[in-house]
Structure formats: C-alpha cells, structure tokens
Amino acid sequence: MKTLSIDIETYSDIPLQKTGVYRYVESPDFEILLFAYSVDSQPVQVIDLACGEKIPKEILLALEDENVIKWAFNATFERICLSRFLGYPTGEYLNPESWRCSMIWSATMGLPLSLEGVGAVLGLEKQKLSEGKDLIKYFCQPCAPTKANGQRTRNRPFQAPDKWAMFKKYNIRDVETEMGILQRLAKFPIPAQIWDEYHLDQKINDRGVRLDMDLVAAAIEMDTRSRKELTDTMKTITELENPNSVQQMKAWLSDNGLETDTLGKKAVTDLLKTAPPKLAQVLTLRQQLAKSPVRKYQAMEKTVCADGRARGMFQFYGANRTGRFSGRNIQLQNLPQNHLSDLAEARSLVRSGNFEAVKLLYEDVPDTLSQLIRTAFIPREGTQFLVADFSAIEARVIAWFAGEKWRQDVFAKGGDIYCASASQMFKVPVEKHGINGHLRQKGKIAELALGYGGSVGALKAMGALDMGLTEDELPPLVDAWRQSNPNIVKFWWDVDRAVMEAVKFKHTTSQYGLTFSCRSGMLFITLPSGRKLAYVKPKIGTNKFGGQCITYEGIGSTKKWERLDSYGPKFVENIVQATARDILCYAMQTLRYCSIVMHIHDEVVIEADSSMSLDAVCKQMGRTPPWAKGLLLRADGYATPFYKKD
C-alpha cells in the first residue's frame, strides 16, 4: 500500500462551524459514522461504523504508517477526527507529515476551497452529490425533539434506511470526486516545499495557544453588564423602547433636529463634530455599544479545548490569489489594537471582575475590553511570548523587485520607509516620535494606498481625509508619490505587458525574477521562490474604461465563482503579497524547532522559556531567503507575559 484516499462522515453535538474540528472531536458523543477509502486508487470501499462494521486492521495500521500517504479533501478534518477515533488525547494528533490535502492542491491552482466547487470547475465525471447537505443535517447533527420523532435528539440509520443507503453512496462519491481531482491536477505537481510548509502549518495548528479563560469569562460578563447599563442610559435619555434600533434612533435624532441617512461608524463620528450635548451623549453611548468585543471572547470560549488551548486558527493557502494564510474561528487577522499605557493593570482589573474600577478608571468599558482581547492569549506556565515581526515587508519587497534605489538605501541605513516617504512627499524632514512625526502616518497611508496603482479613491479609502488631508491635496500627493517612485510605476506596466503577452500569444517571458507563462488553460506567474500563482481560464477582455485587460475565473467579492478582471498593478499586488508570504514561510521554517503558537500577518509568536534569546529569534527571522538575493529584511521583537501589540 502506497496511498490511502479517505473521506469520513461524523456525528457530534458540538457545532463544527462555530468551534473548529479540534473542539468538535472532544464531545463525548463524537463518533465516526462512515469511513470510505480507496487503496492505491482501487474502487472505493465504505465501512459502516454506525451499524457495527469494523475498519480492516491493515487500514488502521496504514493511518499511523508514515510510509503510506493519506489523501483527503480538507485533510485536517480527517486527520484530527481519526486521531480521536484511535484514542489520541487532546493535544496529541496523527503526524501530519504523511498526509496530503487535495483542497490545498486545488487552492494552489486558484480553484475553490470546496469539493463541490472544484468538481464543478474541473467538470469531473463524478461530482459531489447534491443531496449531501440534507443528509449531513439529518445524521451528523442533533435534531430537535418532537412528538412526531418520539422526542429523540438525533437520527440513527435504522430510522431512515433509504436515507442511510444514500448517505453511504454520498460518502463513496466524495472519495471518487477527490481522486478525480488528483488525477486531473497530476500534470501540475505541487513542489515539495509547499507540502513542507503545509506540514509546519498543521503542527502549529495542532500545538495551539493557551487562553486565559478567567479573563475571557470575566470580559464576557463585564460586557453584558456594560451593554445593559449603556442601553438603559440611552433609554432614559431618549425614552425609546429600543434605542439600539437604527430606525428608532434616526427618527429620534430627526425629531431633535439632527438628520442622517445612516448610523454607520463614520457617519456617527461626523455627526459628533456638530451635535449638541444631549445628542452627542447618545451618539457616544451608541459608539460604545458598537465597539462590543464580546464576539471575539465568545469565539475563544467556543474554540478552547479541554487543555485550555485554542487550535486550528490558521487556514493554509486561505487566500486564493496569493496563497497567504487566512484566519479561522477566533480570526487573529483582525484583532483590535491596544493603546492603553497600563495594559497589565487594566487586564488585572477585568480579570478580577472589578467592573466599577474599570468604569471609573477607563470610562469606556467596551473599548477597554476590546483593547484587552490580544491579552487573552498567554504562554504556558514557566514561559513567555517572544514576538517578532518584519519591518515594512511589502515596501521592502516591492522596492527590491522594482529596483527603486532610494528606497533600498533607506532600508540599508535602517531608516523608516514611512518617514522617508512622507519626507519625499511633504519636502520636510520626518522622524518617528520626533520632528514632523505626525506626518509619518500620512506617509504610511500613501505607501499602503498607492503602491499598487491606487489613486485618490484609494487614499480616501485609507482614511486620508479623516487625517486632515483635503480633497485638493490628494491628486498632487498621488503625482508626487508616483514621480518619486518611477521604477515601481514601470514595474506595474512591465508586468501588465508580460501578462498580456503570455495570455495573448502563449509566450513565456521572464523579468524581475518572475516568469509569466500560459498553458493548459492556466496563467502562471512563477515567483522567485519557485512557487506559482495560478489564474484559471485567462482571456483578453475589456475593462470598464473600454481598454484591454486580463480576465480570469475565481472567487470574487460575492464569494461566488465568477469572471474577474485584473491589470498590471493588481498583479503586482498579488506578486508582492505572495512573495511576503513566502518570506514568512521561510522564516517559520528556520524557526520550526521553536514553539511557534501564532502568526499574524508578518508577525510570529513563539512560546519560549527564559533561555531563548529574542535577539537570536529576530536575527534568524530576518535572514534573507537564498532565492531573494539583495532583498534587505529586518525583524524587530519583544518579550511579553501575554500577547499584545508593542
């Protein structure tokens, strides 16, 4: 036996979508109902565990045999469920290194992250059966007790034999579809380095990170009390039955001389500038209510495993176009920032449940709780967190690709690119926390907004007007940035031409350390790391301005599979972000023997004992990959007893 393709159907009373698979399998009611498999691409067999059948001994042995490659679509689910089935305790799971995931393979090709979606796009002969959702709901989840069903709380095979027979066919078909995907993608093999990255990702997910559940419980309770007090105060002032109602609040504001079409965050901020005291008080209270952080804390409560650690928070290749990681469950990628100078003291007060002290000292309780979300992540006893992150990684990468010398000089001298950019644009010296330091944020916004072809609209979207810039200042700002970065602008349009040539003429061209090619209905951009970005079924199309552009199929903003368009700067954005992702993965590989528990954007969090050197971690993380000669990297870091943004 060389390969084993697997799909399982399971039951648990814990909702998978809300908790993730690690918590899902901890239910005492968890069980595997059906186990479908194929050995070395032979016809699929199904084992009906729910009806007393047993998995053959040689198959059980293969699950733990490192020489047998196990395949599944979203293999994490099968691996963790089978770990529990085999009796592994919380925190111990089947070694991921002999597992491969056809979902990840599909993702590297720019395909959807669902078995149904991949099968449809590839036009497989054996597609996922559409009856699956209803059957899963019937057999795999608890049901509401009713008089008609005899007050039962779950459905068993004998209660619907026809449905059960269909469920077994569905289980078999999933393996057949998965095998069809492997067959279809065989001509586009995944490089070994990506599987190495995937295995490291799985180990980080398996390790998880400890949560301070005392803080979490206290924060949820405090939020509930705060929300009640804020709502009661609003009721007293407005005499509204439900002051949280948008319609009721808009009507009340109108009756009091303040007209508004919306009560969104930005609109409320603008209204506060001119609102009279009584109305300002109500709007401020509404703002505080809108800041409620309780969902993050509740996600922690739902996700935490029996040993106090949250697991499965990272989706490898979650970002379809770039291959960057995306968040799951607690969603670490969008944690609120913390700016409290006495973070530890605030944390201690919340943890002890001292609501009155928090209210007295910090006034805005929801905002305080929001700023403390990061601190709920704590290292295991006797260790600390070492947090290291790349300095301006995307700015460094695009300067390196484009050969923008003045930028590279800034990095070589250890300068701050946002200060340097602001200095270029405003023609004054800018120092972080020093002379004209207030301009740094504007430089940062310009960098983030304009680096990928953005113009006035992008600056506005980044909050330029809220920071004091006027409408009249924005067009000259765009011009100034582009004039000071001519090589980056050239990079955009050189990439545009290279992609157009690859799609139109099927030519393969190389420049900037990138290779552009088109074959088998796919556009590929090969990065310096050797990894390929894939675009499905590329064509020459027409953009909204009537000019030529590249179109391809992918998941759009609607979360549906559709035809999308792109052009040079957008491709550059994909290239830069994908390269930054590859650098992060390289850094994590160099630190793989450290206990990495989290990575957020360009930041790595390590659970370390006192003997581990922060300087050594930062130095190791800042090593330039062998495929990125000349790229100047820097990593900075800090030690902390709880996670925070330094």
Residue 99, strand partner residues: 70
**Cβ-based burial of 248 (10 A; exposed 0-12, middle 13-18, buried ≥19):** middle
* Rounded Cα gap, residues 12 and 32, in angstroms: 9
Q: Look up residue 541 and give its two tokens.
A: 């199309």
Place of tokens 């930062």: 618
CA-based nearest residue to 577, from 330, 394, 428: 394
Is residue 532 within 8 Å of residue 524, measured between CB atoms? yes
Place of tokens 């007060």: 349
Say how many residues make up the chain. 646
* Rounded Cα gap, residues 456 and 64, in angstroms: 57
Long-range contacts of 559-563 (CB under 8 A, 24+ apart): 561/112, 561/117, 561/120, 561/121
Residues of the chain with pLDDT below 50 are: none
Is residue 525 within 8 Å of residue 502, measured between CB atoms? no
Q: At 476, which amino acid appears?
A: P
| Spatial strand order in the sheet of 384-390 | 596-600, 603-608, 384-390, 635-640
| pLDDT digit string, tens, across residues 111-136 | 998 999 999 998 888 888 888 899 99
What is residue 370's predicted lDDT score, i.e. its pLDDT? 94
Extended strands (E) in 1-122? 3-11, 31-39, 45-48, 69-72, 99-101
> pTM here?
0.93
What is residue 291's predicted lDDT score, i.e. its pLDDT? 78
Instruction: Indicate the helix (H) or strand (E) that contains 147.
Output: none
CA-based nearest residue to 33, from 148, 188, 138: 138
| pLDDT digit string, tens, across residues 331-352 | 998 899 899 999 999 999 999 9
Q: Look up residue 4 and give its two tokens.
A: 């084993």
